[in-house]
Every structure is written in C-alpha cells, then in structure tokens.
Amino acid sequence: MNKVLLYCRPGFEKECAAEISAKAAEREVYGFPRVKDDSGYVLFECYQFEDAERLVRELPFDDLIFARQMLVVGELLRDLPQEDRITPIVGMLTGVVEKGGELRVEVPDTNEAKELTKFCRKFTVPLRSALRESKILLNYESPKRPVVHVFFIAPGTCYVGYSLPENSSSFYMGIPRLKFPSDAPSRSTLKLEEAFHVFIPADEWDERLASGMYAVDLGACPGGWTYQLVQRSMMVYAVDNGPMAPSLMETGQVMHERVDGFKFRPPRTNISWLVCDMVEKPVRVANLMTDWLVNGWCREAIFNLKLPMKKRYEEVTQNLAMIEERLSENGINAQIRARQLYHDREEVTVHIRRIWAAVGGRRDER
C-alpha cells in the first residue's frame, strides 16, 4: 500500500494537501496529493511503496492541522459485487494487517456520503466476522493494535487500509461526538469543549482545568466558551461589549468586563487560562496571544484564527511561525498545537502551553 489517506473538513482539501506535501517532504518522503474539491479527504500517493507506512509512523498526527484522520490505503476498490463485497476487502488486507484491534467502516463528512452511513453500520457486522476468521482482526477489540478502516466514497466503492492507534485519531471518522448542553448560551460552546478533548489528555484535566482557577475569555458574548470554563468551576473574566447570558452571570463565577479585548489587561497575577474567539485578523489575535504568554499573564491559551481569506494554509503557518519565533526570542519554551476542529468552520483552533521561561540564565518553571 503506497497511499496515505487523510480525512478533512469538506472545502479544506487544498490546505490538507499542501500540509501533507510539505510535512512529508521535510521527512524526505516524496509523492503527490490527489485532491477532489469538497470531497472531505485527500490522498497522498508516495513514490516509494514503503513510504506510506513510514509516513504514518513518523509524522506525528498531532502536528497536522487540517487532517482529522491519517491512514495507509491501497488502490481504490470499485464495483464491489452486491452479492459479495467482503471477499475483495479481505483480499486487500491479507498479508498487510494481522491481528488488528478494531474495524471502522466510514465515509467522508459530506452530505452525499451521509446517505451511506446506514449501510456502513449494517455492513460492519458481517465484515468484522470475516476479518476475524481470516485473522486480520483479533477476536476481541484491542486499543493497542492497528485499526482497520474501510472508507466508502460511493456505493460499492471504497478505500481499504489501516491506521496506527498511537498516531491517529481514536474517534470514528476522526470526529469526537459531543452533545450540545441544552443550557449553554451558544453552539460555539462545543468548539472549546472539543479543544479540551483534543489538546489536553483526559488524565490531566483535573490538574490543568481545575476548579477555582482564573480564566479570561476575550470576545466572550453570549458566553458559550465561558460556559465551559464555568462548568469546570473556574472564575472567568468575560471581556466583550455585548450582552452575556444572564444564566452565566447568576453563577457568581463571571465578571463581565465591557472593554476592548486588545486593551484588557489581567487584573490579577494568577490567571491560568486565556481563551479568545474574537472575530479579527489572525495576525492581530496571534500577536495578542503571544503578548500574554511572553508577559506571563497566563499559563495556557486556546484561541481561534479566523480564515476568510484565500491562502488559508499560508496564513496559518505564517502566524504559527511568528508566534514560535517571538516566544523563542523571549526565552519561553512552549508547546504549540493547531487543529481545525470538527466544530470549527472557516477557522483553526490553536493551543499554547507555557512550559518554562528563561529568567537571567535560569529556568523559571511554571
């Protein structure tokens, strides 16, 4: 199998393709992307046969911004016979995957493909049995073994392959399923919740999203993001000229500051979190976030870079490079990650965690 298949948000195939081409080339993996607009996926075809596996092993999935999932696949299977779709799929995986830990029969995240999901659910059961009989799958689910993916792009037409559980998304179709909390003031609450799931390991939530922490939410109204912080029992400075949801103000955990988010300065020294969803030019937001981190005004930040422009991949990479450069110039060691989340539209979400800052030649751990 010489292809890497990446799932992405429909409409962002070019960004996903530019990203995989650049990051593969950095690892001296050469090939070319195949892109179909609005398809919800990108295929990266490697010139060297073994490079597809090398890429999904060596390119950290967490480094990818526009991909929701990353796997190795073979040639497209077309015209699967209705009376036996299973045999060609088993044939394709024989000698490629052994003792897989899970089967996912998936589709692209498009309206046309959604019509295939019912079929996928039904088809999973007999296919799983056949894969177990052929020893391609273990007889039980194992989170440590490769995941077998069958990706239907049309009826009777699919890619077949596998992902490595330690370097891929653990979610079906690469999409975390989150339930909209009925008492949240806006749907964008799910963006911040998803960001927590994607950027912060579950076993670190109690320490890093702890009750009693202070947070600042720039561009907070009506309060979807503040809601998430309040749910974690934090105290929140909600900065926005607009109206905040009364239900949030009634909690007593929210201080509404009707000022410009670019001028607001932290009223105390123990702010743990800065979050920002202001609709503004990415470079302005990126610089503001960097100011906060350089000045030690917060420990971690989650913010969106809105991308209404044409050159979206370049815009994101330039801003991330600028942030990295400014942090490094100021002696700040930080983890930076960016991802176009499922709940993001024309935007990406960035997470930065300050690890330590060099102070007069020594490390100031915080």
Ligand X SMILES: C[S@@+](CC[C@H](N)C(=O)[O-])C[C@H]1O[C@@H](n2cnc3c(N)ncnc32)[C@H](O)[C@@H]1O
* Cβ neighbours for 71, distance < 8 A, ≥ 6 positions apart: 4, 5, 56, 147, 149, 161, 162, 163, 168
Per DSSP bridges, beta strands 254-257 and 235-239 are: parallel
Q: Residues 168, 101: contact at Cβ < 8 Å? A: no
Q: Residue 275 CB, nearest distance to ligand X (Å)? A: 8
- Determine the interface stretch with ligand X among 20-28, 29-37, 128-136, 233-241 (rule: CB under 6 A): 233-241
Q: Residue 328 CB, nearest distance to ligand X (Å)? A: 27
* Annotated binding residue 63: no
Could you say whether residue 221 binds ligand X (CB under 6 A)? yes
Encoding tokens for residue 161?
A: 């392959």
Choice from 168, 188, 253, 272 touching ligand X (CB under 6 A): 188
Choice from 31, 176, 224, 282 touching ligand X (CB under 6 A): 224
Could you say whether residue 308 binds ligand X (CB under 6 A)? no
Could you say whether residue 282 binds ligand X (CB under 6 A)? no
Q: Which residues are catalytic?
A: 306
Q: Looking at beta carbons only, is 44 or 237 nearer to ligand X? A: 237
Choice from 106, 240, 315, 344 touching ligand X (CB under 6 A): 240
Query: Could you tell me the CA-to-CA distances from 277 to 70, 212, 228 in Å, in that order?
Result: 28, 22, 13
Q: Residue 184 CB, nearest distance to ligand X (Å)? A: 8
79: left (phi over 0), alpha (psi -120 to 50) or beta: left
Choice from 71, 235, 239, 320 touching ligand X (CB under 6 A): 239
Q: Residue 223 CB, nearest distance to ligand X (Å)? A: 5
Encoding tokens for residue 311?
A: 């050159």
Encoding tokens for residue 253?
A: 């955990």
How many residues touch ligand X under the rule CB under 6 A: the total is 23
Encoding tokens for residue 302?
A: 């989650």
* Annotated binding residue 62: no
The DSSP letter of residue 76 is P
C-alpha to C-alpha distance for 38 and 61, rounded to whole angstroms: 22
Could you say whether residue 347 binds ligand X (CB under 6 A)? no
- Determine the interface stretch with ligand X among 47-55, 91-99, 259-267, 327-335 (rule: CB under 6 A): 259-267
E-strand stretches of 18-65: 31-35, 41-46
Q: Residue 16 CB, nearest distance to ligand X (Å)? A: 24
CA end-to-end span of the chain: 45
Q: Looking at beta carbons only, is 122 or 258 nearer to ligand X? A: 258
Could you say whether residue 189 binds ligand X (CB under 6 A)? yes
Q: Looking at beta carbons only, is 306 or 312 nearer to ligand X? A: 306
Q: Residue 234 CB, nearest distance to ligand X (Å)? A: 15
Q: Looking at beta carbons only, is 59 or 239 nearer to ligand X? A: 239
C-alpha to C-alpha distance for 215 and 127, rounded to whole angstroms: 48
- Determine the interface stretch with ligand X among 12-20, 22-30, 212-220, 334-342 (rule: CB under 6 A): 212-220
* Annotated binding residue 40: no
Q: Looking at beta carbons only, is 174 or 222 nearer to ligand X? A: 222
Map residues 49-68 to x or -, x wherever contact with ligand X holds by CB under 6 A: --------------------
C-alpha to C-alpha distance for 218 and 241, rounded to whole angstroms: 10
Q: Looking at beta carbons only, is 210 or 279 nearer to ligand X? A: 279
DSSP string, 130-189: HHHHTTSB-SS--TTSPEEEEEEEETTEEEEEEE-GGGS--SGGG----PPPTT-S-TTH
Q: Residues 357, 296: contact at Cβ < 8 Å? A: yes
Could you say whether residue 15 binds ligand X (CB under 6 A)? no
Could you say whether residue 260 binds ligand X (CB under 6 A)? yes
Beta-carbon count within 10 A of 71 CB: 28
C-alpha to C-alpha distance for 353 and 199, rounded to whole angstroms: 10
Beta-carbon count within 10 A of 34 CB: 15
* Annotated binding residue 224: yes
Residue list for the binding site for S-adenosyl-L-methionine: 188, 221-224, 240, 260, 277
Which positions touch ligand X (CB under 6 A)? 185-186, 188-189, 218-225, 239-242, 260-262, 277-280
